[in-house]
Amino acid sequence: MRQKIFFRLLALLALLIACAAIAMTAYEVLLNRQQHRDQARGKTRILARQLSQLLLWDDRVAVRDLLDTAVAADPLIRYAFIERKDGFYAHTFRSGVPTDLLGTHNGAHALIDRTIRNTTGTVLYDIVSRIEPTGDILHLGFDRDAIDRKSLPVIADIFSISLFFLVLLIYPAWIVSATITHEIDLTTGKLIEVNETLEARVMDRTAALADMNKRVGEEREWLAVTLRSIGDGVITTDMTGRITLFNPVAEGLTGWKQEEVLGRVLADVFNIVNQGNREKLENPVDRVLRSGSMVGLANHTLLISKDGSERVIADSGAPIRDSVGHIIGVVLVFRDVTDKERLEVELQRSEKLDSIGVLAGGIAHDFNNLLAAILGNLNLAQLEVPPSASTQSLLENAEKATLRAKDLAFRLLTFAKGSEPVKTTCSIEEIARDAARFALSGSKSICRFVFEPNLPAVEIDAGQISQVIHNLLLNADQAMTNGGGEIILRGEAVVVGRREDLPLAPGHYVCIRVEDHGSGIPESHLIKLFDPYFTTKPHGSGLGLTVAHSIIKNHNGHFTVTSQLGKGTTFSFYLPASGGVPRKPDEKQPAIGDGKGLILVMDDEEAVRDVLQGMLAKIGYTIECAAHGEEAMAKCLSARAQSQPFDLLFFDLTIRGGMGGVEALRRIRQEGILTPAIASSGYSLDPVMANPRAYGFSAAVPKPYNLGELSRVTRQVMGRGETTST
């Protein structure tokens, strides 16, 4: 290693010295030439001056002698001649002046020094000078090789000194090579160490970088997935309002694709107007950039999508800030609140309906109380008048009207509250026929009944189903274009299998169809037909079909409608078939006057108490009355104390400002009094009326009731001990 460096160093030094020697040699040669050339010019000028007078005196011999002397005296001068306009004047050549040297006079060569070469290769400096005043030109030819030979001693010195220095530098080169070797060894050791450290660091950093890249990638993926998955539309823009991100929900709401909108200004894509006055709203990005804080959209903002569809949206815009808090863009988050707004409206309507229901319930209760008084008094009046008397007919009409008023109150309650049906096993054909007669009385339309024979009985709330049929027939009648027509009311037994399209459990059903040949219903209306308050009639409530649908659902049935414009509509509903036998209406006239027993009547309405007292007295019972629960309880206890207990309790459920029937009976039972009890209420949708036994009653009689109904129920309870409800 050391020798290698030494020889290389030596070679390098030799190279440098050689280069320096060559450069100095070249410099010496050129310098020597330049010096001799300058001297040659001086010599030529001096000679020209000397020749001046000789030429004027035309002393050609003297001139020739002078030229010969100059050539002989200076070994560097190879020739001399005087050029004249007409050729030459004198020269030192052996046989004449070379033609190519002439021409300075005629311009062939400018009056300048030239470097020339003769045929033997000798290089000469042709130095010229004008001789004044004759104008002749003196040429002196200087031998360059001879000039160069003057440099030889200097060149020899240069190379000798170079060699001397080379020899002189051998030992320092050896020392330097030793030092360098030592330094290299040290440095190499350090470099290896540093290299290993660096490699370890690079590996660590590379691993850290890869880990960081992975995490960044995951975060980006997570962010992208989040933005895709988010339920709201998200749009981000830069400071100029140009879109930089557009998630799928935003695509769905605006109708634009992400690739279409990237780089476009938000206003092109996010077209928002006021829902009320349709005026264009300010771009939320501009508002955010202006305020520098989060802003929300005004209510009733309508987003018009690319295809022109409109959606009510709620949104907010917020600035995006970088790590030092500078705003670098805006993020806009918005969502479709069309359904929510609609639901809010519906909720408001529903609340309104609930209020109406409460009101209707109260009115119906009071109304039934009044009807109970009216019906009871009518029945009593009928008993007072001979059956053949004309007054009897009037009283019967009044009773019918009272019963219709009862139905009306019942419908009012049902449609308002959608109560649990009070089901009994019925023949639906009879209910349908009654409802048709009632619905179409006074109408131009006629109803044709097409019922299968031996149609299975159904377990239904006769009043509610009657209302459904009533509503359907009214609709059919109103759909007739000529003010009237034929309405077909069908009743069919249907077996629903597992693969039927109907959303019904497999089994036997009775299907009732109401067919008309009216104007039909447009397809766009069909899907809204059962929505609350949807109506096409100027004075319709929009509740008829809604209530009907609700009733059928509560009977575990199904409601369908098919319609063709201009041809007619068919409403159908399915009710589960019952294996029971329909209860026959009691044909027999109630027995009057043969009833026995002591009955406690409790009702807060004095008129009801009075008429009930009269009616039960007519049947033959002894009556005690109480206005509220506390009084009834006191009388029960008193009667027991007197060993003359009551045989039957007839309690109104709803006592204004006092204890009701249910609470009074519970307390009486707590006293150990087990007298049978009948519940009565003008609020027929009360759950006690549907299931009286659960509350300790043996039967329930809804108000209003006629004498026959009252006689039957009291007899059943007191006589057979059987509980039922009517």
Partner 1 sequence: MTLNHRMVWVGTCLLIGGALFTLWLGLFSGVGISRIDFQKVTSGEDPNKAGDTRPILRVAVGAMISPTITKQYYEDLLKWVGDQVGMRTVFTQRKTYAEVNNLLESQCVDLAFVCSGPYVAGHAKFGMEIIAVPVVNGKSEYYSYVLANKDSPIGTLDELRGKRFAFTDPNSNTGCLVPRFLLAQKGETPETFFSETFYTYSHDNSIKAVAEGMADGAAVDSLIWEFIQATEPETVANTKVIRKSSPYGIPPVVVHPALDPVLKAKLKKVLLSLHQDPFALSLIQKLRIERFEEGDDSLYQTVREMEAWIKSSQSGHSL
With CB under 8 A as the contact rule, the residue among 114, 264, 640, 715 that binds partner 1 is 114
**Residue 107 binds partner 1, judged by CB under 8 A:** no
With CB under 8 A as the contact rule, the residue among 3, 34, 35, 53 that binds partner 1 is 53
Query: How many residues are listed for the chain in this entry?
Result: 726
Query: What 3 state SS string does 638-697 have?
Result: HHHHCCCCCCEEEEECCCCCCCCHHHHHHHHHHCCCCCCEEEEECCCCCHHHHCHHHHCC
With CB under 8 A as the contact rule, the residue among 61, 107, 119, 482 that binds partner 1 is 119
Q: Find the binding residues for partner 1 in span 2-41 (CB under 8 A).
A: 4, 11, 15, 18-19, 22, 26, 29-30
Task: Note the Cα 653 to chain centre separation in Å.
Answer: 55
| Shortest Cβ 97–partner 1 spacing (Å) | 5
How far is residue 97's CA from residue 641's CA, in Å, rounded to a whole number? 185
Nearer to partner 1, 114 or 150 (CB): 114
**Residue 1 binds partner 1, judged by CB under 8 A:** no
With CB under 8 A as the contact rule, the residue among 56, 184, 209, 358 that binds partner 1 is 56
With CB under 8 A as the contact rule, the residue among 3, 118, 179, 229 that binds partner 1 is 118
How far is residue 717's CA from residue 713's CA, in Å, rounded to a whole number? 6
Contact between 266 and 239 under an 8 Å Cβ cutoff? The reply is: no
Residue whose entry in the numeric block shows the structure tokens 């209530």: 547
| Shortest Cβ 79–partner 1 spacing (Å) | 9
**Residue 174 binds partner 1, judged by CB under 8 A:** no
Candidate ranges 96-104, 259-267, 379-387, 388-396; the one touching partner 1 (CB under 8 A): 96-104
| Total of residues contacting partner 1 (CB under 8 A) | 42
How far is residue 318's CA from residue 297's CA, in Å, rounded to a whole number? 11
DSSP assignment string, 604-628? S-HHHHHHHHHHHHHHT-EEEEESS
| Shortest Cβ 1–partner 1 spacing (Å) | 12
With CB under 8 A as the contact rule, the residue among 93, 165, 533, 534 that binds partner 1 is 93
Strand pairing partners for 570? 515, 562
Cβ neighbours of residue 331 under 8 Å, at least 6 residues apart?
234, 235, 236, 317, 318, 319, 320
| Shortest Cβ 66–partner 1 spacing (Å) | 14
How far is residue 382's CA from residue 684's CA, in Å, rounded to a whole number? 26
**Residue 286 binds partner 1, judged by CB under 8 A:** no
With CB under 8 A as the contact rule, the residue among 10, 45, 68, 98 that binds partner 1 is 98
| Shortest Cβ 201–partner 1 spacing (Å) | 29
Candidate ranges 85-93, 376-384, 472-480, 701-709; the one touching partner 1 (CB under 8 A): 85-93
| Shortest Cβ 21–partner 1 spacing (Å) | 11
Nearer to partner 1, 22 or 328 (CB): 22
| Shortest Cβ 180–partner 1 spacing (Å) | 16
**Residue 213 binds partner 1, judged by CB under 8 A:** no
Cβ neighbours of residue 382 under 8 Å, at least 6 residues apart?
392, 395, 396, 399, 707
- Among 477, 635, 641, CA closest to 569: 477
**Residue 110 binds partner 1, judged by CB under 8 A:** no
How far is the CA of 57 from the CAs of 67, 133, 239, in angstroms?
16, 12, 103
Give me the phi and psi of 600, to 5 degrees please. Answer: -100, 115
**Residue 495 binds partner 1, judged by CB under 8 A:** no
- Among 290, 380, 363, 282, CA closest to 327: 290
Contact between 141 and 65 under an 8 Å Cβ cutoff? The reply is: no
Nearer to partner 1, 18 or 203 (CB): 18
First to last CA, the chain: 126
Q: Find the binding residues for partner 1 in span 392-451 (CB under 8 A).
A: none
Candidate ranges 113-121, 310-318, 346-354, 669-677; the one touching partner 1 (CB under 8 A): 113-121
How far is residue 129's CA from residue 80's CA, in Å, rounded to a whole number? 11
| Shortest Cβ 70–partner 1 spacing (Å) | 19
How far is residue 433's CA from residue 36's CA, in Å, rounded to a whole number? 152
With CB under 8 A as the contact rule, the residue among 13, 50, 59, 494 that binds partner 1 is 59
- Among 655, 663, 590, 594, CA closest to 628: 655
**Residue 373 binds partner 1, judged by CB under 8 A:** no
Candidate ranges 108-116, 450-458, 463-471, 682-690; the one touching partner 1 (CB under 8 A): 108-116
Candidate ranges 117-125, 439-447, 491-499, 633-641; the one touching partner 1 (CB under 8 A): 117-125
- Among 319, 324, 24, 340, CA closest to 161: 24
Nearer to partner 1, 11 or 327 (CB): 11
With CB under 8 A as the contact rule, the residue among 61, 112, 133, 322 that binds partner 1 is 133
Interhelix angle for 707-715 vs 338-384, to 10°?
A: 90
Dihedral of alpha carbons 618, 622, 626, 629, sign: negative
Nearer to partner 1, 84 or 640 (CB): 84
**Residue 184 binds partner 1, judged by CB under 8 A:** no
Candidate ranges 87-95, 156-164, 309-317, 424-432; the one touching partner 1 (CB under 8 A): 87-95
**Residue 722 binds partner 1, judged by CB under 8 A:** no
Residues that bind partner 1 (CB under 8 A): 4, 11, 15, 18-19, 22, 26, 29-30, 52-53, 56-59, 84-88, 93, 95-102, 114-119, 121, 123-124, 132-134, 148
